[in-house]
Amino acid sequence: MSLLLGINSNAMNATDVDENKLEKIETFQSENFSTRVRFIIIHYTSIDWENSLKVLTQERYGVSTHYLIPEDGDETYQEQVKIYQLVDEEDRAWHAGVSKWEERTNINDQSIGIELVNQAECSIRQGSQYDYTNNYVCLFSDFDNAQIEILITLLKDILSRHDEIKPTYVIGHSDISPDRKFDPGPKFPWKRLYENGIGAWYDDVTQKKYKKKFSSKMPSIGQIQCGLKKYGYGIEVTEVMDQQTFYVIRAFQYHFTPDKSNGRISIEMVSALWALLEKYFPETIKNDRLVGCNDN
């Protein structure tokens, strides 16, 4: 098949155009296009409004986000809570870093980043007795109600303009970088967002069905890794409970089973995962077992 390019017969010769003036070329709008945006990534800043704005706008810090939302009660912020846009949606903000979702990397290139001012804090523990399962201690803070309400308004607006953002593409920083990030943490109200038509969540009836089924026999670690991978997490199916699996399970729990988010396999976590797969990726389940993984 040949591709025919239309040429304007009235186009001027290069010598006829002033060298300091760019002549506009006639344009036509193709029906075959989509936006670069596939994901919405939600973060917390871990610092107050004043410092958040400084870090996210000054060149020396090398990070940015498309939107920043303060929280009520912050002593460095005296106005009514509202949305601040720091980077145009069409431009690439530097908020995701090394990241992966559904085999996609360079998430900065494909996402809108939203930072919420929230002073949660995670610090590393020192000492040989601490391994990857307990080497960090985190103090997570509740999110301000006014902040979440305005976030919901913003998310609805973004989703109305970007059809390519599927429910499973509204995720947190820890979902795409589970080995190094904790935000927005287990206190972020993902279910509340879902109840407002935003993002993904499992049906309680379906989770209870799998919880009952798995009470007698849990899926193997390979199947659990497979399920996390099929949902979108960047995990390799190794058949063993290793470091990468701990981080991914913890990120999943922060998102979907926040009351039990210690990075260890639980029946609540596995039944929620299977319920999500049945809802959003039903082709992956056959006779309650996942298909297309290494142990099938």
User: Would residue 11 be called left, alpha or beta, if left means φ above 0 and alpha means ψ between -120 and 50 degrees?
Assistant: beta
Section 186-202 average pLDDT: 98
CATH of the domain at 111: 3.40.80.10
Section 225-240 average pLDDT: 97
* Cα 32 from Cα 37, distance rounded (Å): 16
**pLDDT value for 14:** 42
Question: Comparing 1-15, 23-37, 219-233, which segment has the lowest mean pLDDT?
Answer: 1-15
Residue 15 domain-assigned? no
- CB contact at 8 A, 131 and 54: no
Are both 254 and 122 inside the same structural domain?
no
**pLDDT value for 8:** 36
Q: Is the pLDDT of residue 35 over 90?
A: no
Instruction: Residue 217: count other Cβ atoms within 10 Å of its Cβ.
Output: 7
Are both 230 and 146 inside the same structural domain?
no
Section 113-130 average pLDDT: 94
Q: What single letter denotes the amino acid at residue 193?
A: L
Task: With CA atoms as reference, report the closest residue to 53 among 72, 32, 77.
Answer: 77
Are both 70 and 159 inside the same structural domain?
yes
Instruction: Residue 144: count other Cβ atoms within 10 Å of its Cβ.
Output: 20
- Report percent pLDDT > 70 for the chain: 90
Residue 3 domain-assigned? no
- CB contact at 8 A, 69 and 115: yes
Q: Is the pLDDT of residue 162 over 90?
A: yes
Section 47-62 average pLDDT: 97
Are both 218 and 166 inside the same structural domain?
no
**pLDDT value for 288:** 73
Long-range Cβ contacts of 109-112 (<8 Å, 24+ apart): 109/36, 110/36, 110/37, 110/38, 110/39, 111/37, 111/38, 111/39, 111/40, 111/41, 112/37, 112/39, 112/40, 112/41, 112/66, 112/67, 112/158, 112/162
- CB contact at 8 A, 102 and 57: no
Are both 96 and 188 inside the same structural domain?
yes
Are both 224 and 120 inside the same structural domain?
no
Are both 92 and 184 inside the same structural domain?
yes
Q: How confident is the model at residue 18 (pLDDT cuts 50, 70, 90)?
A: low
Residue among 115, 239, 278, 283 flagged as catalytic = 115
Q: Which residue has the higher pLDDT, 2 or 60?
A: 60
Are both 235 and 175 inside the same structural domain?
no
Question: Comparing 27-31, 43-47, 137-141, which segment has the lowest mean pLDDT?
Answer: 27-31
- Cβ burial 120-137 (10 Å sphere, 16+ → b, else e): beeeeeeeeeeeeeeeee
Q: Is the pLDDT of residue 172 over 50?
A: yes
CA dihedral 141→144→147→148, nearest 10 degrees, is 80
The pTM (predicted TM-score) of the whole model is 0.88
**pLDDT value for 37:** 93
Residue 113 domain-assigned? yes
Q: Is the pLDDT of residue 27 over 80?
A: no
Residue 258 domain-assigned? yes
Full domain range(s) for residue 222: 204-290
Give whole-number Cα distances, 71 to 14, 50, 87, 100, 149, in Å.
55, 11, 20, 29, 11
Q: Which residue has the higher pLDDT, 143 or 126?
A: 143
**pLDDT value for 294:** 58
Q: What is the pLDDT of residues 197-219, one digit of tens each?
A: 999 999 999 999 999 999 999 99
* Helix, coil or strand: residue 187: coil
* Cα 141 from Cα 134, distance rounded (Å): 19
Element containing residue 68 per DSSP (H, E): strand 67-69
* Helix, coil or strand: residue 42: strand
Q: How confident is the model at residue 22 (pLDDT cuts 50, 70, 90)?
A: low
Section 23-33 average pLDDT: 69
Judge whether 164 counts as a catalytic residue. Answer: no
* Cα 276 from Cα 284, distance rounded (Å): 11
* Cα 100 from Cα 207, distance rounded (Å): 26
Section 264-287 average pLDDT: 95
Are both 223 and 252 inside the same structural domain?
yes
